[in-house]
Structure 1
Amino acid sequence: MSWTLSQSFLSNSSPVIKTIEMHTGGEPLRVIISGYPKIHGDTILQKRRYAKNNLDHLRKMLMFEPRGHNDMYGAALVDTDLPEADIAVLFMHNGGYSTMCGHAIIALGRLVVDKKYVTATEPETEVNIQCPCGLVKTLVEYKDGKSGYVRFHSVPAFLFASNVEIKVKGYGMMTVDISYGGAFYAFISADVLGLDVRESSTSDLKRAATAVSDAVKKQVKILHPEDDDLSFLYGTILTDGQDNWSADPTANVCVFADAQVDRSPTGSGVTARIALQHSKGFIQIGQKRIFESGVTKSLFSGTAIKQVKCGDFDAVVVEVSGQGHYTGEASFILEEGDIVGEGFLPN
């Protein structure tokens, strides 16, 4: 016996929202393909505000249980306002809408090529993706009709503040660096908090990183030089402290949004960490580093490829590479009267 969801079968239901399910390094990505209402706005940041103010019930329905979970991640394709962009995207998660997401860019690069939104060329196909933080050039490996690894070039990334002293509840005075890679992150070595990013439990890492994020949000004013919509701390990245260049992988764990734990090494986080390492003289232009997720042991690479400016900040463009994978397709509905089905997260 087989059947598919349809409006005739579900006569009193909401429209069917169809998605393609992917992951990059273990971090999920739910890509909305059809059934979503039009997201209005002349610019992508206006679209982001529109989604937040008018469509947040759908974010909760798709990201939260029973269809998702606390660590689900999503992407909605929207109309681009940049002539050079092939697609534009809004990112969503348990706390709202982010400005950049590298793991999503890596997965979307494959999807755009495989769905023939652009004409594929060998050995790489260029896909320009407009994100809320700006245009991201993406290069998708393509051979014998198959897509593979993806690398992207970041928006200008920079060290915002170095050796910032904060008082962290439960831990005392700490020193963090704050760096931007399409989103702002606080960076601190896990051993300062009595933890190990490769060995400590995810719950302990999440608790400590959340405490650091809470402290930074209360005690540090973050400003992006070009747009106030980008001026907020997205999360904290706990590292193994190995910032000097090495051929060996360096591990980190990113806790972002509402205490959401990234399973991947974090694409925008790798971007921000490369910017930090370059600014402090730990790595040079062209030196590739390998970054390991402390959760899944998956790997991204990151390389500062050129120096630029972002406002008054010395910045770099960072190339990040990794591979996304497909996990399935889904059709989601909300039946009339299903209050629980509107989305919930357990305490």
Structure 2
Amino acid sequence: MYVKTVEMHTGGGPVRILLSGFPKRKFETLLEHRNYVREHLDHFRKALILEPRGHHDMYGVIIVPPTLPNADIAVLFMDNSGYSTMCGHAVISMARYAVDHGYVKTLKSPETKVDIQCPCGMVSAYVKYDGTKTGATRFISVPAFVYATDVELPMKKFGTLKVDISYGGGFYVFISAEKLGLDVRKTKLKDLVQVAGDITDVAKEHIKIEFPESKEQAFIYGTILTDGRDSNIKATSINLCVFADRQVDRSPCGSGTTARMALLYHKGLIGLNQSRYFQSSKTGSSFSSKIVRDTTSGGRKAVNVEVSGQGFYLGTSTYTLEVGDKLGHGFSIK
């Protein structure tokens, strides 16, 4: 193995972009490509995301050939357990990278549009550009919708919990940490992760997600603990997203923010083009968001959500794998 990467972050959430050394293949759909990579090329993810090159909460992106003619760039997302369908914090960094590295033919000020093909669908991003330097990014989500509200989950520690499930490129369970006797800001992270991970496990066991438009996306990706401040739209609210194999998002979670905005809109707590800010409980990083239009998804009422943030460059890396290095293939210690 000999690969090169660019290292970025959005709101503290790492974005390791695989640039070279990865086999280039063409597929009819991006989801087919995702399946092939999962089944035949997963050793790249393990080597780059897990230790010793990565860590339990590392996140990465593979640039692949688009399958849609209007896409400027196509990406696959990597986490500690597999391949997600959407990642907002990664899209924010990737859009800036795409503008800076020639994936967009025509650069425009004050913003340059980038059409990014993600496994969940096409995501249009807009990168600030002053003619010399790129900056903050906003993206418009795929149709986001509420899947179910007040779903009852039988939890050993808490009894029956009522949770909401919403989609923003991936399906998330939402619950206020206060309902669990926890403080999303002050409670120890390991305790929050334990509870959120347990909720995800129980939700996967008891809830069958039906998503006829894309059966590949019909799974619960994680649980987002909030501070419960839903009704005061002027207040910055907290997200703590625990996803994949109990991986913690350092950012407020872009796809989670999308899903939460759809949930707030569904409950009548926010209107079109009303801005709301969300913050990570542990890093303090924030995203701004607003619902830009009503739409539909498979007959469901849905919305398109705009999420804004800033991606930053950290450096570049070259990774190799020596013959005989068994641990170099990637390992995980929990």
TM-score over 0.5 (shorter chain): yes
> Which residue in 1 is equivalent to 2:77?
91
Match status 1:37 vs 2:23: yes
Partner Cα separation in structure 2 for residue 323 and residue 110 of structure 1: 9
* Pair 1:224-2:211 in alignment: yes
Give the letter for the 1:247 counterpart.
K
**Letter aligned with residue 169 of structure 2:** G
Q: Distance in 1 between matches of 2:75 and 2:156?
A: 36
Partner of 1:22, secondary structure, is: strand
Number of positions where the alignment pairs a residue of Structure 1 with one of Structure 2: 333
Secondary structure at the aligned position of 1:52 is classed as helix
CA gap of 1:258–1:40, structure 2 versus 1, over 3 A, is farther
* Structure 2 Cα separation of the partners of residues 226 and 148 of structure 1: 34
Distance 2:181 2:54 in 1: 32
Structure 1 partner of 2:271: 284
Q: 1:164 aligns to what? A: 151
Residues 210 and 255, structure 1, Cα contact 8 Å, conserved in 2 = yes
CA contact (8 A) 1:225 1:312 kept: no
Question: Offset at 1:345?
Answer: 0.7
Off by >6 Å, runs of 4+ in structure 1: none
- Is 2:13 the partner of 1:27? yes
Shift of 1:304: 0.7
Amino acid paired to 2:20: S
Deviation at 1:39, TM superposition (A): 4.1
> Is residue 2:95 matched to residue 1:109?
yes
2:67 is the counterpart of 1:81? yes
The Cα shift of 1:25 comes to 0.2
Q: Which position in structure 2 is the counterpart of 1:178?
A: 165
For 1:289-328, list aligned pairs within 5 A: 289-328=276-315
Q: CA deviation at 1:37?
A: 1.5
1:162 is paired with a residue whose SS is strand
The match for 1:8 is none
| Identical aligned residues as a percent | 53
Q: Is the 8 A contact 1:100 1:131 kept in 2?
A: yes
Gaps of 5+ in 1: 1-13
More divergent stretch after superposition (150-159 vs 306-315): 306-315
Q: Establish whether residue 196 from structure 1 lines up as the match of residue 183 from structure 2.
A: yes
CA distance in 2, matches of 1:157, 1:224: 12
- Give the superposed CA RMSD: 0.9
Distance of 2:95 and 2:327 partners within structure 1: 34
Q: Answer yes or no: is the 8 Å Cα contact 1:166–1:173 preserved in 2.
A: yes
Which of 328, 331, 334 is the matching residue for 1:341? 328
2:56 counterpart residue number: 70
* 2:123 is equivalent to residue 120 of structure 1: no
Q: Is the 8 A contact 1:41 1:50 kept in 2?
A: no
| Corresponding residue SS for 2:83 | coil
- Aligned-residue offset at 1:312: 2.1
- Where 1:175 maps in the other structure, the secondary structure is strand
Q: Distance in 2 between matches of 1:250 and 1:268?
A: 15
Is there any run of 5+ residues in structure 2 with no aligned partner, and where?
none
Question: Residue 250 of structure 1 contacts residue 290 of structure 1 at CA under 8 Å; is this kept in 2?
Answer: yes
Any conservation in 1 of the 2:252–2:280 contact (CA below 8 Å)?
Answer: yes
Corresponding residue number in structure 2 for 1:10: none
Residue equivalent to 1:55: 41
Secondary structure class of the residue paired with 2:216: helix
Counterpart of 2:152, as a letter, is E
1:265 to 242, 252, 255: 252
What per-residue deviation string (whole Å, max 9, x for no partner) do you get for residues 264-293 of structure 1?
Answer: 000000000000000110101111100000
Separation of aligned partners in 2, 1:295 and 1:39 = 39
